[in-house]
Amino acid sequence: MKKIIAIIGAMKEEITPILEYFKKYETISLGENTYYKLEYQNSIIIIAYSKIGKIHSALTCSTMILHFNANYVIFSGVAGGLREDLKVGDIILATSLCQYDVDITAFGHKLGFIPESKIYINTNESLNCIAKKVAKKQNINLKYGIIASGDSFVFDNAKKQWIIDNFNASAVEMEGASIAVVSSLCDIPFCIIRSISDSADNNANISFDEFLLESASRSAKFVISMVDEIVKE
């Protein structure tokens, strides 16, 4: 049975380096999105950029799993760093993900909690071990931590600190938690790789524009190396 590996980015810039690496692929239109399918070392790879935000990424991830039968999901992209030790270009592996913009505290629940779910969803340990293996081989100082997702671009010091205080998050972005929810519910191993593009502070919009391509490329190259390890197993 062939392995089917889904690679998702939120923006075109996040998957372009991956498409350029593989070069030849089939283009499939579905649900007003484009999916790129190819065979690689006796495995199948499906690549797509979902468009920004949790709804789009949830739809794309669901399509990857339910239509294309993906049995691995990897997200590649950029994120805002929340910790002081995270610098532009650093690669962070999500240990778990949460939704910082979910708030039903009026009913006595904690921030980020959804009934019949949980605040933090853990990533797959086997895929995380592969990420650590790649980092060791390439002498990359891979960072780890909780990644918080929400449907807004964080570029405010006060909001940044609020996310740190309430979720102990290391990085912030707009898609990872929805990938986590869909993959977890479908019992599909998933992994979230992000390269830091900004510090989610008052200058984040400037930093993001400046470092998007470079950071997206770093994440993409790392994920391609992960794919090489997955198909060998």
Give the pLDDT confidence of 70-123 residue by residue, as tens digits.
999 999 999 999 999 999 999 999 999 999 999 999 999 999 999 999 999 999
Tell me the pTM: 0.96
Contact 150, 172 (CB under 8 A): yes
**Distance between CA 49 and CA 76 in Å, rounded?**
10
For residue 228, what pLDDT band results from cuts at 50, 70 and 90? very high
Crossing angle (nearest 10°) for helices 204-232 and 12-22: 40
The closest alpha carbon to 160, from 91, 90, 86, 223, belongs to 86
Task: Please give the pLDDT value at position 194.
Answer: 97
* CA angle (214 as vertex; 213, 220 as ends), nearest 5: 85
- Residue 232: strand pairing partners: none
155, 171, 168: which is closest to 203 by C-alpha?
155
Q: What is the pLDDT of residue 178?
A: 98
CATH (domain of 109): 3.40.50.1580
Classified as helix, coil or strand, 109 is: coil
pLDDT for the residue numbered 209 = 84
Structural domain harbouring 103 = 4-232
Active site residues: 14, 198
Overall domain count for the chain? 1
